[in-house]
Structure 1
Amino acid sequence: MSVQIPAQRVKELRIKTGAGMMDCKKALQASDGDMEIAIENLRKKGLASADKKSSRAATEGLIESYIHAGSRVGVLIELNCETDFVARRLEFQKLAKNIAMQIAACPQVYYVSIDDIPKNLIEKEKLIEFGKEDLSTKAENVKDKIIQGRINKRLQEMSLMNQSFIREPDISVEELVKQHIALLGENIKIRRFERFILGEGL
Structure 2
Amino acid sequence: MATITAQQVQKLRETSGAGMMDCKNALVEANGDFDKAIQLLREKGKASAAKKAGRTTSQGLVSAWISPDGSKAGVVEINCETDFVARTKDFLDFAQNLARLAAEKTVSSADKLLAEKLGAETVEQTLKGVIGKLGENIQVRKSFTLGGNGGKGVIENYVHAPVEKAPLCGSLAVILQVAADKNSDDVKSLARELCMQVAAANPKWISKEDVPADIVAKEKEIYKEQCRQSGKPEQAWGKITEGKLNDFYKQFCLLEQSYIRDSKTPINSLLKQASDKAGAPLAVKGFVRLKMGEE
TM-score (norm 1): 0.63
Q: Which residue of the partner structure matches residue 164 of structure 1?
A: 258
How many aligned residue pairs are there?
Answer: 138
Q: Which residue of the partner structure matches residue 171 of structure 2?
A: 72
Query: Residues 96 and 158 of structure 1: is their aligned pair in 2 closer, same or farther, counting only changes over 3 Å?
Result: same
Which structure has more relative contact order (CA 8 Å, sep 6+)? It is 1
Q: Which residue of the partner structure matches residue 100 of structure 1?
A: 195
Written as runs of structure 1 = structure 2, the 5 A alignment for 1:30-179 is 59-69=151-161, 71-82=170-181, 86-87=182-183, 89-107=184-202, 109-132=203-226, 135-179=229-273
Q: Which residue of the partner structure matches residue 189 of structure 1?
A: 283
Q: CA deviation at 1:170?
A: 2.6
Q: CA deviation at 1:134?
A: 6.2
Aligned residues: CA RMSD: 1.7
Q: CA deviation at 1:138?
A: 2.2
TM-score (norm 2): 0.44
Letter matched to residue 199 of structure 1: G
- Alpha-carbon displacement from aligned partner over 1:19-49 (angstroms, at most 9, x marks no partner): xxxxxxxxxxxxxxxxxxxxxxxxxxxxxxx
CA contact (8 A) 2:160 2:172 kept: yes
Point out the structure with the larger helix share: 1
Identity %: 29
Q: Which residue of the partner structure matches residue 16 of structure 1?
A: none
CA contact (8 A) 1:135 1:143 kept: no
Q: CA deviation at 1:133?
A: 6.7
Point out the structure with the larger strand share: 2
Q: Which residue of the partner structure matches residue 5 of structure 1?
A: none
Segments of 4+ moved more than 3 angstroms: 133-136
| Cα distance in 2 for residues equivalent to 1:127 and 1:170 | 30
